[in-house]
Amino acid sequence: MSEFPFPSVYRLVQRWQHPEISDVAGAVREAILGSRLRQRLRPGARVALAVGSRGIHRLGEMVSAAVQTLRQLGTEPFIVAAMGSHGGATPEGQRALLASYGVTESALGVPIRTDMDVVELGSNSWGEPVYWDKNAFQADAVVALARIKPHTDFRGRYESGLVKMLVIGLGKRAGAETHHKYGVRGLRDMIPESAKVVLARTPFALGLAILENAREYTARILAVEPEELLQREPLLLEEARRLMPRLPFAQLDLLVVGELGKNYSGTGMDVHVLGRQQVEGETDTLDPRITRICVLDLSEESHGNAVGVGLADLTTRRLLSRMDEHVTQVNALTSCFLLRTKIPPAFANDRQCIAMGLKTCWQPRLSEVRLAIIPNTLQLETLYVTSGLAEEARQLAQNARPGQGLHLEVDDTPIALPFDSDGFLQQEVLFPDSIRARRRNRSSSGNVETLG
């Protein structure tokens, strides 16, 4: 297998013309002060700031700005974990997840509550109980900070966002299990019904909605009042869908993903990038069409959670060695989406894994194979492609209309895939601006600062 003739690849850069906020702290402050929150609070009110576990860009800065602004309003803020069953559904696991995004008591100077205790608010229209974080319920007011984006499990009026955070995130493990046991129906159809109960019976006082652009940087931060949440979030979801990053091709023979992880997507790898959902009983209707997918490693920020490995066809023993079986199993069994955690064939190194992907991708002519390599499904600005895709990208760039919002640049000179002496792909060489490369650079310099 070491003598396998790998094709050369070309560097392809996607440049999107999307809005981007540089001063995220200022945007958070402006959103809070411009809302009606001040009128809802009394001096000295205890305000719970609900924070989730997704890899939101510069999340630590946003949380810090929210805490400072709430203090400015004369309140006593504290943090509550709003992440359902993530972190192994344990207080310690959820505290570690928050810390990995820079959300710590020492950094913020406020208490962080990650207890899994809940109160039962009542029943929704399905007759199912609605649970809510006990610490949040006992606060005078709750402010929720959440990113609005298309969900990886279903398509509906409310997907990932404030509504889901209020129901599943603050519902803790009990709330997650209640909805996930119904599969897609429980997420798409029951979450809005539970949200009505939450809005009527809790001190939820303000939502801070984050929209990210195709580079996964902050595009907008908006205040959403409780009484307008159910009407406004679907509009924000459609805006987020238009801003999503995608691969510029409709079909691939093989996609190589450098890392999967919960910091990149709730499913480890974003199904909207892969074009496959792997949901039991549901037909995949997403684009692009990809015959074979290899995933090479698990991110450190995922804390051993390898949910999503089943979205790939082939993987490495290195990835599996970094998987925490308990954490992964808790997340998978709570979600009730089990196909995504099935273990694909694993190989000793990246060279063997990619070679097998090429051998089994149903394109026997190596000169014609449609191969793309990405660092993860979150960062799609730079990718590497084989010659046919490079030429297709050049044609797309040549035929692009002004104002289309996407510009493609393709290098003229191909390169050989850079494997090290142990057969592992040198991802930091291919993607020097990736999260993986930044992590390695900090590690080698002795800087242990976590990604925000």
Report pLDDT digits (tens) over 393-447: 999 888 876 655 688 999 999 999 999 999 999 999 999 999 999 998 887 765 4
277 in the same domain as 216: no
Whole-number pLDDT of residue 446: 58
CATH number of the domain encompassing residue 89: 3.40.50.11440
Confidence of residue 296 (pLDDT cuts 50, 70, 90): very high
pLDDT(56) > 90? no
**Tokens 């987020």 sit at which residue?**
240
Helix-helix angle 59-72:24-33, to 10 degrees: 40
User: Contacts by 98-101 with C-beta closer than 8 Å and gap 24+?
Assistant: 98/51, 98/53, 99/450, 100/263, 100/301, 100/303, 100/450, 100/451, 101/53, 101/55, 101/56, 101/59, 101/60, 101/450, 101/451, 101/452
Rounded CA-CA distance 217/231 in Å is 25
Helix-helix angle 229-243:191-201, to 10 degrees: 130
Range of the domain at 399: 10-17+246-445
The reply to whether 1 falls in a domain is no
Q: Which two structure tokens, joined as six digits, stand for 385?
A: 């492609």
Whole-number pLDDT of residue 450: 35
218 in the same domain as 258: no
pLDDT(223) > 90? yes
Write down the pTM of the prediction: 0.74
Confidence of residue 18 (pLDDT cuts 50, 70, 90): confident
Tell which wins on pLDDT, 258 or 277: 258
Tell which wins on pLDDT, 62 or 407: 62
Mean pLDDT throughout 241-259? 94
256 in the same domain as 206: no
167 in the same domain as 258: no
Burial 349-370 (b: 16+ CB within 10 A, else e): bbbbbbbbbbeebebeeeeebb
The reply to whether 205 falls in a domain is yes
The phi, psi pair for 114, rounded to 5°, reads: -120, 15
Rounded CA-CA distance 416/10 in Å is 9
Mean pLDDT throughout 75-88? 91
Boundary-marking domain end, from 243, 275, 302: 243
The reply to whether 3 falls in a domain is no
The reply to whether 339 falls in a domain is yes
User: Which of the residue ranges 37-51, 86-100, 122-136 would you say has the lowest mean pLDDT?
Assistant: 86-100
Mean pLDDT throughout 19-25? 94
Tens-place pLDDT, residues 334-355: 888 899 899 999 999 999 999 9
According to DSSP, the β-strands at 204-212 and 141-147 are: parallel
Confidence of residue 37 (pLDDT cuts 50, 70, 90): very high
- The pLDDT mean for the chain works out to 92
pLDDT(301) > 60? yes
266 in the same domain as 410: yes
147 in the same domain as 233: yes
Boundary-marking domain end, from 243, 269, 289: 243
213 in the same domain as 255: no
What value, to the nearest 5°, has the Cα angle with vertex 25 and ends 74 and 262?
A: 110
User: Which of the residue ranges 7-11, 146-150, 162-166, 368-372 would you say has the lowest mean pLDDT?
Assistant: 146-150
How many separate domains does the chain show?
A: 2
Whole-number pLDDT of residue 307: 94
377 in the same domain as 237: no
Mean pLDDT throughout 51-75? 92
The reply to whether 30 falls in a domain is no
Mean pLDDT throughout 193-212? 98
268 in the same domain as 137: no
Q: Which two structure tokens, joined as six digits, stand for 365?
A: 């002519």
Burial group, residue 127, by CB count within 10 angstroms (0-12, 13-18, 19+) = exposed
Choose among 5, 8, 16, 2: nearest CA to 409. 16
User: Which of the residue ranges 27-31, 336-340, 378-382 would you say has the lowest mean pLDDT?
Assistant: 336-340
Confidence of residue 331 (pLDDT cuts 50, 70, 90): confident
Give the contacts of 433 (CB within 8 A, at least 6 positions apart): 379, 381, 382
Count of alpha carbons within 13 angstroms of residue 137, beta-carbon side:
20
Confidence of residue 153 (pLDDT cuts 50, 70, 90): confident
Q: Which residues pair with 10 in a beta bridge?
A: 385
213 in the same domain as 77: yes
Rounded CA-CA distance 413/68 in Å is 50
Mean pLDDT throughout 366-382? 96
The reply to whether 29 falls in a domain is no
Choose among 187, 168, 244, 165: nearest CA to 211. 244
pLDDT(217) > 90? no
Boundary-marking domain end, from 192, 220, 243: 243
Q: Under the phi-then-psi rule, with left for phi > 0, alpha for psi from -120 to 50, and beta for the rest, what region is 416?
A: beta
Choose among 175, 163, 161: nearest CA to 116. 175
293 in the same domain as 144: no
Rounded CA-CA distance 199/187 in Å is 17
- Residue 185: other Cβ atoms inside 10 A: 11
The reply to whether 119 falls in a domain is yes
291 in the same domain as 173: no
The reply to whether 223 falls in a domain is yes
